[in-house]
Structure 1
Amino acid sequence: MNFVMKQALGGATKDMGKMLGGEEEKDPDAERKEEERQEALRQQEEERKAKYARMEAERENVRQGIRDKYGIKRREEKEAEAAAAMEQTAEGSLTRQKKAIPAGCGDQDEEEEPGIVESVMRFLPGTLQDIFNKK
């Protein structure tokens, strides 16, 4: 009968102590295993980044081949050339475009905006407006 009970419970008797509040068995190599696991994760991440860097370099080579084949310039190159051309034409010219003046720099007549009281007065009935206007 004792044999049957041990077979039925199996390894559950070891866990019973933990469930009842007993101390857990500590693995002496747990810290070393955790460090190894962290190092393996770091290596995998580095390999993944290197793989994607290689793939992006290959893609850029293909893109550059297409640009060379069809005479297409990169967006950055186009923008730089356009900016240089504008600088060159406007450098000594008497007819160059004037720099834009930001709004509110005093070149326009500024109208006074109605205050809060005036805004509220517009929504009051006529009799109330008269009362407030008399004061």
Structure 2
Amino acid sequence: MNFVMKAAMGGGPPDVGKMLGGEKEEEDPDAAQKEEERQEALRQQEEERKDKYGKMEAERERMRQGIRDKYGLKKREEVEAEAAAAQEEAVAGSLTRPKKTVPAGCGDEEEEESIMDTVMKYLPGPLQDMLKK
């Protein structure tokens, strides 16, 4: 309500002149330098963050390796590579290699019953007779 009264009296909001383009905001002469400093600070913070997490990940890897050594475990990548190599050796040059299997229901087998036959089983006798005709 106060705003309406001031606007009616001619005072108007203080930023009306700026919105109409009459008064321009004062530009800070050091704005470019401040922006550069801000960008540099952001870059520096990002580098510090990356260093911190890099150190944490290195520590975790040392702990993982210690556990692997203690229990005689191998890295997942090594295990997968060995399994793939063993499979290739077994299959390479073999005339009795296993054939690719086709999942059940992929069209190799004929369907025993049609959908209509299945539906007909559940209908009462007179309706079955009527639909068979």
**1:1-135 to 2 correspondences below 5 Å:** 19-22=14-17, 24-101=25-102, 107-109=108-110
Give SS of 2:99's match.
coil
Shift of 1:33: 0.5
Deviation digits for residues 45-79 of structure 1 (CA, Å, limit 9, x no counterpart)? 12101210121012112211221121101111111
Shift of 1:31: 2.1
| Separation in structure 2 between the aligned mates of residue 29 and residue 59 of structure 1, nearest angstrom | 45
Shift of 1:90: 2.4
The equivalent residue for 1:5 is none
Structure 2-normalised TM-score? 0.58
The alignment-based identity, stated in percent, is 70
Matching residue's letter, 2:89: Q
Structure 2 unaligned residues grouped into runs of 5+: 1-12, 19-24, 116-130
Give SS of 1:19's match.
coil
Q: CA RMSD in A?
A: 3.8
Structure 1 unaligned residues grouped into runs of 5+: 1-17, 115-132
Aligned residues: 114
Pick closer, same or farther for the CA change 1:59–1:20 going to 2, 3 Å.
closer
